[in-house]
Structure formats: structure tokens, C-alpha cells
Amino acid sequence: MTTPPRPHGIHLIADLAATKGLDDPAFVEAVLREAAAAARVTLIDLRLHHFGEHSGVTGVALLAESHISIHTWPEHALAAVDIFTCGGEARPQAALDHMIHRFAAHLLRMERIDRLA
């Protein structure tokens, strides 16, 4: 009988009720950069799209260890966050905690998936 593979990555998917900065691309960019630092991961690139004045932002931080993404809906005070990290040194929960703090949010729900790769 073979031993099941040990997880190598953690994938956090979260919905946040947020009150700060959801329509501000510069703020969202700063929070993504800070979240990557909090997670102790290597930021390779960061891309954002703002859907217009008083509208949401979609952002993706490409990491050497995978990615952090966010989609915001300021009109509903909501943000969807996806944090996937690989490697033993990464701290995805620290990234999520930082994002909750900076967006003045509270966690509506979160799912953790232990990834095999």
C-alpha cells in the first residue's frame, strides 16, 4: 500500500464583507503587495483592472509560489479573495489576515484546500 502524497500547497478561498478601498485601484494594489509580503512569498508581477469610477477592481499578484487574486464589488461591500501558495515557507493565512485588516473587513466564509502540488 502506498502512502498518500503529502500536501505541498494551501489554497484559501474567501468572501469578505469589506468597507474600505474596494473601488480604489491604488489601494487594492498596495494591499496585494503587502499581502504577498505578509505571506513571505515572492511577487513576480501584479496586474489590475478597474471597472470605472465607483466600480470594482480585479487584481492578480503572480507569485513564484502561485498567486493571490481579488475581485471587488464596492456597490455590495464585498470582495472575493483567492490565495494559493506552494512551499513550506509560505504563510497564506497571514496574507488573508492582512487583507481583512486593510479592507476593514470581516470574513463571511472561507474554504481551505490542501493541494498536492
Annotation says 71 is catalytic: yes
The 10 Å CB-count burial string (b at 16+, else e) for 54-88 is eebbbbbbebebbbbbbbbbbeebbbbbebbbbee
Annotation says 55 is catalytic: no
Contact 34, 46 (CB under 8 A): no
Separation of alpha carbons 102 and 96, rounded Å: 10
Separation of alpha carbons 3 and 79, rounded Å: 38
Helix (H) or strand (E) holding 77: none
Spot the catalytic one: 66, 67, 76, 101: 66
Annotation says 49 is catalytic: no
Spot the catalytic one: 50, 67, 69, 71: 71
Spot the catalytic one: 86, 98, 101, 106: 86
Catalytic residues: 66, 71, 86
